[in-house]
Structure 1
């Protein structure tokens, strides 16, 4: 007799009460955990995309390659502090800088006129004779900028005098100016009467008149604005002129001459030009070059402020430390305190300083401010 078939298993009764609620809770925990994991992944992806480190160097969008700083030296004849700059440029990748020198016409920089091979042949060929307080000064600046703009790798342009010294090594200077998309141009309202000539209006309205240090650092866009300008420069040539010195032998004519506007072009041109182009919002409105001004003669009728020259004795470590410790500048005509920033980061205000004698520059080298350097090498007869 065939065995009877096994009875079919009874259907599992539906979960009820606490057991059912426990199963549902378990499934909800699994689903919730999966959702949280997805959200976390999305958040991490978002953070990686939007908060990954930005490129440290700001350059023109059309340029690809290693950007350069163009060092523009505006000098009388030669470079008395070339030995210091030679130490500054030593062991630096030559693809990161270029040098241009405006000197008196006919000066050739070679082994007979400079100690440093970095300056060999770096004079521009279309230089002009420059007179202080005349429009020839700003014309020379424009010639330097025009020469430097021919190299598309030049993305920053630093104007320096023959008495300027670096306060830091090349790497620090390079990173300082390259991370900022702004130009560094000392610019403030000129509250004193006598500099602005009403005949400049309407091409240069009074409210756009600015004053500041001629020692600028500009980005390529602003360098192009300066070089391409014809209108504002022509107004400066015509109406911004230095008042002639007092000559008592001219009698009444001397009194008439002293009523002229005493306009110093290099203290106004770049600042006013960029204000005219509504570019002040793209500036750090301060200079990178420190100058110690002698204010003892400010109340004397026929004298003004004059930059002090640092000597060996006054260029000691404590003085240099004080200069490098300055972190803000106050502009009393605008009641403005300019805190020194680069790319929104607080930094020392100055990368360079003037005016330094040869002895002062030698002391900087001996203190290794710029680089290791054997000061005894300077005891040889200069070229």
Structure 2
């Protein structure tokens, strides 16, 4: 006769079985977590999508300069840039244009085939002194980063001109492993908003020209940023102009911080990432500033436009001969060097009128060009 197991023994068996199941299940969870945590970095779910796309991959081949044009609509100096690119190897450059939404560059809107179809399809409406300027620059960088061969990124306005031929500019930019970013302490009151602290400390607040030249790793930092851009959108805003219809309200409005985002965002962001030591703290684009505030109470400094009359060889040579930049806010003279070699400070200049650009071509600054061809060319 078979002896029935004791109820106590049965309960122990059941309890032990459940213990095995629980232990085994827990082990599976730990193993799964371990495997998930140590997945190879190249799997799509291991890092955010943008960081997969813009990872620091090794590039072997001929590096390109990405020319990023920030345009209001068309490129009025396209004929000059067309001549500039005509004397270059197409394997050495890429072109990207942020223009007004919906504007297309084709044979009816530009004189140069180099710009055909080079506009961004996701462009936005840009307003001077607003964060939309930063967003447009980031869109240009994002598009250019899609091509691994793009290893340098030059931001240009629609009134910029090159001061040298393509070969000289290419060798100059590629010879340096640093970005060229105008960056200096902003000691004047009114731009920095204390509400940015502690995310952006006052001592890390920088100012500089928006016309920058970046190495790829720094371009990635700017494109990947989400934290500091949101702070700029909230606290770095242009003070509204005086409006007579608002009466006494103007007094209150004029006490607001007058922050121009594109003059602060790039240099401040790179400082916040501890990258200031990797920069040539100067821009490659020359601007002639009107520094007189006489009878300009609401205007202050503003860039002057070069015309046919003052764009002659003598004035251009003066720009080319500049070998240092002085920053009064830091009592710092930035001597222009590349790999310890003294070089001219500027490769580009702005703002140039149509007549000034025609004179540069007729003088052979960037290449030979028959200016008579402009008479029947598209606007």
Which structure: larger Rg? 1
| TM-score normalized with structure 2 length | 0.84
Match of 1:96 among 92, 95, 118: 92
Contact 2:111 2:377 in 1 (8 A): no
Find the partner of 1:226 among 222, 229, 234: 222
| Distance in 2, Cα, partners of 1:94 & 1:217 | 20
Runs of 4 or more, structure 1, over 4 Å off, are none
The answer to whether the Cα contact below 8 Å between 1:72 and 1:99 also exists between their aligned partners in 2 is yes
- Please state whether the residue corresponding to 1:333 is helix, strand or coil: helix
Matched residue SS, 2:349: strand
Structure 1 length-normalised TM: 0.83
Equivalent of 2:239 in 229, 237, 243:
243
**Aligned residue number for residue 204 of structure 1:** 200
Q: Is the 8 A contact 2:176 2:339 kept in 1?
A: yes
- Cα distance, 1:205–1:307 mapped onto 2, change above 3 Å: same
Determine which of 73, 76, 81 is the counterpart of 1:80: 76
- Aligned residue in 1 for 2:125: 129
What SS does the corresponding residue of 1:168 show, helix, strand or coil? Answer: coil
Aligned counterpart, 1:334: 330
| Correspondence list, 1:1-383, <5 A | 62-297=58-293, 300-383=296-379
Aligned to 1:47: none
Give the deviation of 1:303 after TM superposition. 2.0
Aligned 8 A contact 1:65 1:153 in 2: yes
Q: Decide which moves more: 296-305 or 82-91.
A: 296-305
How many equivalent residue pairs? 324
Quote the offset at 1:299 in angstroms: 7.9
Q: For residues 298 and 196 of structure 1, what CA distance do their matches in structure 2 show?
A: 25
Contact 2:87 2:166 in 1 (8 A): no
Per the TM alignment, residue 248 of structure 1 is displaced from its structure 2 partner at its CA by 2.2
Alpha-carbon distance, 1:104 to partner: 0.4
- The two structures, once aligned, show a CA RMSD in angstroms of 1.1
Q: Unmatched 5+ residue regions in structure 2?
A: 1-55
Partners in 1 of 2:168 and 2:59 — Cα distance? 23
Which whole-Å CA distance do the structure 1 matches of 2:144 and 2:329 have between them? 34
The C-alpha deviation readout for 1:132-153, integer Å capped at 9, x for no partner, is 0000000000000000000000
What is the rounded CA distance, in whole Å, between the counterparts of 1:119 and 1:192 in structure 2? 41
Question: Which digits, 9 at most, give the CA deviation of each residue in 1:154-200, with x for residues without a partner?
Answer: 00000000000000000000000001000000000001100000000
Question: For the Cα contact (< 8 Å) 1:241–1:264, is it kept in 2?
Answer: yes
Q: Is the contact between residue 87 and residue 367 of structure 2 (CA under 8 Å) also seen in structure 1?
A: no
